[in-house]
Amino acid sequence: MSKIGKRPITIPEGVNIEQSDNILAVSANSNKLELGIPRETKVEIKDGKILVSRVNDSKPAKEKHGLIARLIANMIEGVKDGFNKDLTFTGTGYRAAVAGNELVLNMGYSHEIKLAIPEGIEVKVVKNTITVSGINKEKVGQFAAKVREVRPPEVYKGKGIKYKEEHIRRKAGKTAASK
C-alpha cells in the first residue's frame, strides 16, 4: 500500500471539490484546476476529506495510487495559496525583463533569449531575481526549469541562473604558480 496514497487529504475551508465521471475539479477564489482520474484509482469525498484508493492490486494501479493523491493535494494547495519559484542570476551585464507575454533574458550570449510565458503563469523581475508564480505546480516548476536552462550556474565563478535556495558547490581554479 502506498504510504502517500493511503493518507486522507483534508479539504480546507473555502475550497470546493466537484467530482463527475472521471474528472475531479478543485476551485477556490476564482481559481480552478481539473484532473482526470485514471480508472485504476478511486476517489471518495467523505467528511471533509478525500480518500484515494486503488481498484485492484495490478502494477499500473499501484503506480498511480500515490501519484494521484499527491496531484490532488497539490491542486488544493495551488488554488488556495498558489506556488512560487524564485530564481537569481549573477554575472556582468546579465539582465532580465518582462515584455508583454515574454520573458527577455540577456545572459552573455550574442543575442537575447525570449521565452513565452505560459497561460496561468505570472513572472516578475526585481533587480537580479526572477519570480515565477501560479496555481499549477507543474507549470510553475517547468517554466522555472526552462528559465534556469538558459544559463545554468557554472562552478568556477558562480555566474548564471540558479534557484534561490540552490547551493552551488564551487571549484577552485588553476593556481598560477604551482611550482
The single residue listed with the C-alpha cell 534561490 is 164
Q: Are 96 and 153 in the same domain?
A: yes
Range of the domain at 126: 83-163
Residue 71, pLDDT > 80, answer: yes
| Banded model confidence at residue 96, pLDDT cuts 50, 70, 90 | very high
pLDDT given for residue 51 in this prediction? 93
Residue 29, pLDDT > 90, answer: no
Cα–Cα dist 165/151, whole Å? 17
| Cα distances (Å, whole numbers) of residue 113 to 91, 99, 172 | 16, 12, 30
Is residue 64, in this structure, part of any structural domain at all? yes
114-143, pLDDT tens digit by residue? Answer: 999 999 999 999 999 999 999 999 999 999
Q: Domains in the chain: how many in total?
A: 2
Q: Are 64 and 98 in the same domain?
A: no
Is residue 3, in this structure, part of any structural domain at all? no
Is residue 170, in this structure, part of any structural domain at all? no
Across residues 81-88, what is the average pLDDT?
Answer: 95
6-25, pLDDT tens digit by residue? Answer: 899 999 999 999 998 899 99
| Cα distances (Å, whole numbers) of residue 102 to 44, 98, 108, 127, 138 | 41, 6, 19, 17, 19
CATH number at residue 94: 3.90.930.12
Q: Are 117 and 88 in the same domain?
A: yes
Q: Are 90 and 156 in the same domain?
A: yes
Cα–Cα dist 107/112, whole Å? 7
